[in-house]
Amino acid sequence: MSTRFGIGYDAHPFSAGRGLVLAGVEVPHGQGLAGHSDGDVATHAIIDALLGAAALGDIGTRFPPGDPSVPEGVSSIALLERTAALVREAGWRVENVDATIVAERPHLAEHVAAMRSVIAAALGIEVGRVSIKATSEDGMGFTGTGEGIAAIAVASIDPAAAP
């Protein structure tokens, strides 16, 4: 076995009456993201990247809305922790993750350090192995017009060390 890579993508529209959670951090904003879980597109993209790297399916098949272990409003960080356990059980170690959040608003620079810490803790890796970035689409597309937020992530995994 050698190093493997996975890519994840997620997007959700804004929804009134919900808090905005990105990479496990509550970000002040007038509305959150729609979804069965907390709608955390950054964490969802990371989950899909890790599952893809380990060839373990995707977030929708691993954590479907009808599953009693995935209650409405579930924390995406809890799902990321479960994903990290699945990756380890399959014989892999998370090497690093790199995610980009695409949002016109809110501005996220002041939240990136906290996001990196939350993701690193959920994965059980050093914060230096987690990259979170934010960008906008300069008014283009659904993120640019303020309809929602998207995220893309890449993850690498290595074979776990033999006991």
pLDDT digits 0-9 by tens, 76-127? 999 999 999 999 999 999 999 999 999 999 999 999 999 999 999 999 999 9
Section 8-37 average pLDDT:
95
Count the helix, strand and coil residues of the chain and give each as a percent rounded to the nearest 5. 35, 30, 35
Q: What is the pLDDT of residues 69-85, one digit of tens each?
A: 888 889 999 999 999 99
67/98: higher pLDDT: 98
Q: What is the mean pLDDT of the chain?
A: 95
Q: Residue 163 above 60 pLDDT? A: no
From the candidate CATH numbers 3.30.930.10, 3.30.30.10, 3.30.1330.50, 3.30.1490.100, the one assigned to the domain spanning 4-159: 3.30.1330.50
Section 127-154 average pLDDT:
96
Q: Output the pLDDT for position 160.
A: 84
Burial of 131 (0-12, 13-18, 19+ CB in 10 A): middle
What size, in residues, is the chain? 163
Q: Output the pLDDT for position 28.
A: 93
Q: Which tokens in the block code for residue 47?
A: 């989950």
Q: Residue 162 above 50 pLDDT? A: no
Q: Output the pLDDT for position 69.
A: 87
Which residue has tokens 């969802």?
A: 44
Q: Taking the domains of the chain in order of start, what are their residue ranges?
A: 4-159
Residue 42 pLDDT class (50, 70, 90 cuts): very high
